[in-house]
Amino acid sequence: MNKAARHDRLFQRLCLSAALLVMATLAGLLLALVIGGWPAISHFGPRFFTSAAWDPVADNYGAAGPLVGTLVTALGAMMLALPLAMGVAVFLVEFCPRRLAHPLGLAVEMLAGIPSIVYGMWGLFVLAPWFALHVQLPLLLNLDPDTFWGKLFNGIPNGANIFTASLILAVMVLPYMATVFREMLLTVPPHMREAAYGMGCTSYEVVTYIMIPYVRRSAIGAVMLGLGRALGETMAVTFVIGNSHAFPDSLFASGSTIASTIANEFAEASSDLHVSALMALGLVLFCITFATLAAARLLIGREAS
Amino acid sequence: MKFDAVPSQSVMRPPSEAERVLDVRGLDFSYGQNQILFGVDLPVARHQITAVIGPSGCGKSTLLRSINKIYDIYDGQSASGEILFHGQNILNPASAMGADNAALRAKIGMVFQRPTPFPMSIYDNIAFGLRLHRNVSRADMDDIVESALTRAALWDEVKDGLHKSGLGLSGGQQQRLCVARAIAVEPEVLLLDEPASALDPLSTAKLETALIEMKDSFTIVIVTHNLQQAARISDYTGFMLQGRMVEFRPSSEAFVKPETQAMRDYVTGRYG
């Protein structure tokens, strides 16, 4: 074998080992979570997922509170961010004058680059007090606490609750989703747009009936990617969610997510069971996020062509 | 002789003004700084087929794209001059026709070079355009869909699968679907931009037959690079070169004895 061929084989092996290292890290991480979380899961059984009793003093752990908190804040964030992100993307692709499109697109991307701790501080010091004073308090005073709406918006008016956490998450995933949507809309072939305009569609009709259906599958994938981010987001949520382990009983109730619970308690976890319960929480989050991202990958780029 | 010479002669034998449903007069068109059309005239006679021929890049597609103002969806493209439709200049945004592009495009439909079925069923492809412009009952819709597909010579091939995706059809079928979709809204004028350039000879023949039969209901303007096609189906022919209308005459004369040197060279194949 000559020198060049040997060199090339070495290069291939190096690349292969880099790829294997990533796979090994993933497997090791999963294994560590399973081993670490197993004592808690085997100790509590299915009750670990259904009980909302999270009591480190009595060493009794049920993950229903953080589990529901994670899902509700993430889904709420998607509901808030989805129409806005779609609006931003449609504006950038369809209506924005060409010389504005580039700076505006850049600004949206920069928004995605702001560190989450900054969002968290803004949420705690600016958003939460404003929200408590101007939204929560008036609703609390004006709604009959026995009605459906009264129950939905019930809670201590301190601005730290499930809803403000969703709001912060929405702001965080919005630029990300808008960027992905924009790239998808740009893949709609120009002749498709022309054909639709050519038969007398208004811009609204072209966007709603032709362009969005054309990218539908990918768009669902993009939503899932955003959801994956929202599920695992830690710092910003920890700041504004109120960090109560109780099962959230209203939209304005304090709560917790899996990520915020882990961040808050890991340093202080003293008993083995507490550490194991947190590990088990991590495993649950890993599985949810992995499933979401896998589903997103399956959908993205699979447009009927 | 090459195409780069700006033609010096121009011969116009247009239909009388009373016959014209659409009249392009002195149309200039620019992409940014780049002027594509120079004072182009195109008189279009009612219920006739008008063909526009010429070498690639002569501006024939741009002329067509001006007539239903599809260029208007892009920045930096502008047309000036007159395109009279029902006596109004559609290029003037102050006229009733010029103000509402969507309404204009419902009256002046367009079929593009590449088949463009929408990502929906065959039935919905046709119903879609109709629902944009008026309320149609379910039963009426079925009739209109059948009639449009029949006139576009596609009904027999798709009647058993109307709810299958339009994307599953062959290229020729897709193009006839686009024709059916365009005529379902009953436009007055139908513009076709090299509609057969991506089709095999059999599909082309079907499309041509359909166009000739549609003449009774619509006024048709077709851009084509296929001289035989223009000779077979058109009543009037315009020959363009370098963004100018060089010769415009009834097709029966145009192909037999072209008067300008440029068109003579083109139809005898001397331009290669």
Contact residues, chain B, for A200 at CB < 8 Å: 102-106, 129, 132-133, 185
Question: Looking at residue A224, what is its pLDDT?
Answer: 87
Q: Do A198 and B70 touch (CB under 8 A)?
A: yes
Q: Quick one: closest CA in B to A202, which residue?
A: B102
pLDDT-based confidence at residue B180 (cuts at 50, 70, 90) = very high
Question: Looking at residue A304, what is its pLDDT?
Answer: 43
Check: CB of residue B172 under 8 Å from CB of residue B141.
no
Q: Is the pLDDT of residue A264 over 70?
A: yes
Q: Is the pLDDT of residue B215 over 70?
A: yes
Closest partner CB to A192 (pick from B76, B116, B165) = B116
Which CATH code of 1.10.3720.10, 3.40.50.620, 3.90.209.20, 3.30.565.10 fits the domain covering A3-299? 1.10.3720.10
Measured CA to CA, the distance from residue A22 to residue A248 in angstroms comes to: 38
Mean per-residue pLDDT, A265-281:
89
Q: Do A194 and B118 touch (CB under 8 A)?
A: no
**How many Cα atoms within 13 Å fall on the side-chain side of residue A45?**
1
pLDDT in tens, A98-137: 788 889 888 888 888 888 899 999 999 999 999 999 888 8
Does residue A205 sit at the B interface (CB-CB below 8 Å)?
yes
**Across all residues in chain A, what is the average pLDDT?**
88
pLDDT in tens, B111-160: 998 898 988 899 999 998 888 887 888 889 999 999 999 988 899 999 99
- Mutate which of A199, A208, A211, A214 to test chain B, going by most B C-beta atoms within 10 A? A199
Domain extent listing, chain B:
11-267
**How many Cα atoms within 13 Å fall on the side-chain side of residue A181?**
31
pLDDT in tens, A131-164: 999 888 888 888 888 888 888 888 888 888 899 9
pLDDT in tens, A58-87: 888 888 889 999 999 999 999 999 999 999
Phi-psi region of B100 (alpha: psi -120 to 50; beta: other; left: phi over 0): beta
Contact residues, chain A, for B119 at CB < 8 Å: 210, 213-214, 304
- Total length of chain A: 305
Q: Is the pLDDT of residue B270 over 80?
A: no
Q: Is the pLDDT of residue A196 over 50?
A: yes
Domain extent listing, chain A:
3-299
Measured CA to CA, the distance from residue B172 to residue B166 in angstroms comes to: 12
ipTM confidence score? 0.82
Q: Taking a contact as any Cβ pair under 8 Å apart, which residues of chain B between 76 and 105 contact chain A?
A: 76, 101-105
pLDDT in tens, A46-55: 888 888 888 8
pLDDT-based confidence at residue B262 (cuts at 50, 70, 90) = confident
Q: Is the pLDDT of residue B8 over 80?
A: no
Closest by Cα among B13, B37, B21, B38 to B84: B21
Kindly give the residue spans of alpha helices, DSSP state H, lying in chain A. Answer: 3-44, 47-50, 64-90, 98-113, 116-122, 128-131, 137-142, 148-152, 162-186, 190-198, 203-205, 212-214, 216-232, 235-240, 258-265, 272-299
DSSP string for A77-120: HHHHHHHHHHHHHHIIIIIS-HHHHHHHHHHHHHHHHS-HHHHH
Q: Do B112 and A97 touch (CB under 8 A)?
A: no
Give me the percent of chain A exceeding a pLDDT of 90: 36
pLDDT in tens, B86-117: 888 999 888 877 788 888 998 999 999 889 89
pLDDT-based confidence at residue B65 (cuts at 50, 70, 90) = very high
pLDDT-based confidence at residue B73 (cuts at 50, 70, 90) = confident
Q: Which residue has the tokens 């090299």?
A: B194
pLDDT-based confidence at residue B83 (cuts at 50, 70, 90) = very high
How big is the A-B interface in CB pairs under 8 Å?
A: 62
Measured CA to CA, the distance from residue A273 to residue B71 in angstroms comes to: 69
Question: Looking at residue B1, what is its pLDDT?
Answer: 44
Q: Which two tokens stand for residue B190?
A: 């139908």
Give residue B15's identity as a one-letter amino acid code.
Answer: P
Question: Looking at residue A301, what is its pLDDT?
Answer: 60
Question: Looking at residue B7, what is its pLDDT?
Answer: 72
Closest by Cα among A51, A50, A76 to A250: A76
Question: Looking at residue B146, what is its pLDDT?
Answer: 94
Question: Looking at residue B12, what is its pLDDT?
Answer: 83
Closest by Cα among A135, A162, A124 to A247: A162
pLDDT in tens, A198-209: 888 888 889 988
Give me the percent of chain A exceeding a pLDDT of 70: 98
Q: Is the pLDDT of residue A25 over 90?
A: yes
Q: Do A194 and B73 touch (CB under 8 A)?
A: yes
Q: Taken in order A47, A48, A49, A54, is the CA torsion positive or negative? A: positive
Closest partner CB to B102 (pick from A98, A194, A201) = A201
Give me the percent of chain B exceeding a pLDDT of 70: 97
Which CATH code of 3.30.930.10, 3.30.470.30, 3.40.50.300, 3.30.43.10 fits the domain covering B11-267? 3.40.50.300
Mean per-residue pLDDT, B226-231:
89
pLDDT in tens, A220-253: 888 888 898 899 888 888 888 888 887 888 888 8
pTM for this prediction: 0.77
Measured CA to CA, the distance from residue A51 to residue B165 in angstroms comes to: 49
